[in-house]
Amino acid sequence: MITTVDLTRESLSDAFNRPITYLRVSVTDKCNLRCVYCMPESGLTWLRRDEVLSYEEIVEIVRAAARVGVRTIRLTGGEPLVRRDLHRLVAGINAIDGIDDIALSTNAVLLEEQLDALVAAGLRRVNISLDTLRPDRFERIARRPGLDGVLRGIDAAVAAGLGPVKLNCVVMRGQNDDEIGEFAQLTRERAVYVRFIEVMPVHENLELQRNAYVSSDEILERVAAVDRIEPVPGPPGNGPARYFAFPGALGAVGVISPLSHDYCERCNRVRLTADGRLRLCLFGDQHVDLRTPLRAGASTAEIAGLLTASMAIKPERHHLRLGEASSRMRAFSEIGG
């Protein structure tokens, strides 16, 4: 529900005068794929059910966040669509005064079958992870089949008007970097935004990351080899990408470059983990436990106060470097707004 913002409400800002208007909510740590850059094939040590926030608890935290100026919510995972009845959470968030935008980051394997209910509940935008257009390569990267389902999900999202539809592609040298031009060509006749993401180091992919890293500058050089590109404004949303387009293209190409060109100075977001911790930086140690006070009976105002107080420990920037692992990021769905 789009609302008129009450300007008398408190505005959430960090110690570096960055307004925080965007909350990413992880609804689960589980995923139905096992992408090589994200987690081991056997999976991770999953949270217990009682550790995961209920939908009602998430709604209460979002209500508190809206009170202090958060306007955009992005639902992530893991893979958010593996959690049952996600549309119920979307409807609960959509009913909160002050929330203007609800988006979803997904691998889209399950999107087509759930899309109608999600749109009816208030979903407005979708980001879809897609690292290859080739079925055999999809299974090699994701360690699971599913490309046909992803492509159907993309078509369904476009048909449902969930614009702009953003496609997130993690670029890996020797695995899918030869498809950069093919992905870029999708933007000529489709109103989609293909965003190429630098592979980032986590403990599960450190060796791969050292060997597979392709910088955003090199990615753009390869796109420009297809045809001339020019910088263009990005689509609506709160993402960190820089955008470029071919002449006359309906969509655009973006690059997300946390290593080669970090976007910390423009950071406007915090993240709520599935177990109720407010993460102040994707790659940092700083977090605030919201689950414990919430389950102890904290009011909306008290949770809002914790959110405001947490701004004092939000760092100015991350210090991620090529070849250095971060154990803090559990999934690539945590990035790319």
Question: The whole model's pTM is what?
Answer: 0.87
Q: How confident is the model at residue 327 (pLDDT cuts 50, 70, 90)?
A: very low
The pLDDT value given to residue 168 = 95
pLDDT for residue 204 is more than 70:
no
Separation CA 31–CA 82 (nearest Å)? 7
pLDDT digits (tens, 9 = 90+) for 206-261: 555 567 889 999 999 999 999 999 999 988 765 678 999 999 999 999 998 765 55
Separation CA 81–CA 94 (nearest Å)? 17
pLDDT for residue 120 is more than 50:
yes
Q: How confident is the model at residue 21 (pLDDT cuts 50, 70, 90)?
A: very high
**φ, ψ (nearest 5 deg) of residue 151:** -65, -40
- What does pLDDT average to over the chain? 87
- Name the DSSP letter for residue 313: G
pLDDT for residue 88 is more than 80:
yes
Neighbour tally for 120: CB within 10 Å: 11
HSE toward the beta carbon, residue 266, CA cutoff 13 A: 12
- CATH of span 22-334: 3.20.20.70
Separation CA 67–CA 258 (nearest Å)? 30
Burial of 191 (0-12, 13-18, 19+ CB in 10 A): middle
The pLDDT value given to residue 301 = 97
SS3 201: coil
Region 317-337: what's the mean pLDDT?
49
